[in-house]
Amino acid sequence: MRLFAKFFLITILGWKIDGFFPKHLKKYVIIAAPHTHWQDFPLGILVKWIQQTPINYIGKASLFKPPFGFIFRWLGGTPVNRSESTNKVEAIVNVFNVNENFILALSPEGTRKRIDEWKTGFYYIALKANVPIVPVAFDYGKKEVKVGNPFPVTGNYDEDMKLILPFYKGVKGKNPERGFEV
C-alpha cells in the first residue's frame, strides 16, 4: 500500500509531506485540521500508508454497518454512537489504557461546518491518557501535509493552545470558508 499511496499522493496529485509521525512513541493523539471536506479522510489514509503508521480514528457508528463497514474498520476505524450521551472522552481514554500501542487521529473541529472554536475533547483525551498531541495540517493551498512535533499537554488548556494553534497559521483547507481561522 505504501508504494501505491506514495505514487498516487505525490506523483499523481502533486502533494508533499513535511515531517514524520514519531516512531519512538507508542501512543499519542493526532489533531488533523482544518477539516473542511470529505477529501481530508482519504488524504489522511494515504499519509498513514506512506509513513507506515498504525493510525486509528473514530467515526459515526452508521459508517460501520454492512455492506461497507468492514472497510472503515480495515482503515483503522472504531465506531462511536454519537446519539447516546456517553462520556466519549473517558471511553477513548480507556482504549488508550488497555492498548500497548494506540495512535488516534481526530479533527478538533468535530465537523466540516464553519465553527468559531475547536472542541476540547482531543485535549482532554490526551491529558487523561497521559499522551502527547501531534499536530497535523492539511494545507490545500500549498498541497502539503504538515506533521508537527509531539506536544506534551500540561493541563492548562488556554496556555497550551497558545503554543499549538500557531502551527495552523496560514493553512488553507479544501473549503477555506468552513475552516476555523487561527
Q: What is the pTM of this model?
A: 0.90
Q: What angle do CA 116, 121, 124 make, to 5 degrees?
A: 125
Across 79-102, average pLDDT: 81
Asked if residues 54 and 99 have their Cβ atoms less than 8 Å apart, the reply is no
The model's confidence at residue 179, banded by pLDDT at 50, 70 and 90, is low
Backbone CA torsion sign across 153, 159, 165, 167: negative
Dihedral in degrees, nearest 10, Cα atoms 120, 125, 131, 137: -40
CA distance 16 to 169: 18
Instruction: Look over the chain and give the mean of its residue pLDDT values, rounded to a whole number.
Output: 90
Asked if residues 126 and 153 have their Cβ atoms less than 8 Å apart, the reply is yes
Which positions ≥6 away from 104 have C-beta within 8 Å? 28, 29, 30, 55, 56, 57, 58, 92, 95, 96, 125
C-alpha distances (whole Å) from 144 to each of 4, 17, 137 are: 18, 6, 8
pLDDT of residue 5: 96
pLDDT of residue 37: 87
CA distance 3 to 10: 10
Give the range among 52-56, 93-97, 126-130, 145-149 with minimum mean pLDDT. 93-97
pLDDT of residue 83: 57
Nearest to 124 by CA among 86, 159, 90, 97: 90
